[in-house]
Amino acid sequence: MFGDIFILGFAGLSLIVTLTAPEQVIYVSEDEMSDIEKDALALELYLKDKEDHKKHCPKIKWEQPSIDEYKKDLESKLPSNCKK
């Protein structure tokens, strides 16, 4: 019985640590990415910028560039005065 409680406690702790651990980011050069991976990353950046602008700096006037602009250099396009 004690063993079961110990295992459940350890499993719960492991789950909490896993869910609260910071994201692991793997950096890959653009040359190592397929077109689909580049498109997915561009879309992710586009959506993240849209969300971050709304959350962190909605009073700053900013017209979000098209997804094609994100595909060119795979970088955030938020204004520099918009703090995350």
> What's the CA gap between 45 and 78, in Å, rounded?
10
pLDDT tens, residue by residue, 65-82 = 999 999 999 999 999 888
Residue 75, classed as helix, strand or coil, is coil
Q: Please give the average per-residue pLDDT across 32-54, as a whole number.
A: 91
Residue 44 has pLDDT above 60, yes or no: yes
Whole-structure pTM value? 0.61
pLDDT value of residue 15? 58
pLDDT value of residue 70? 94
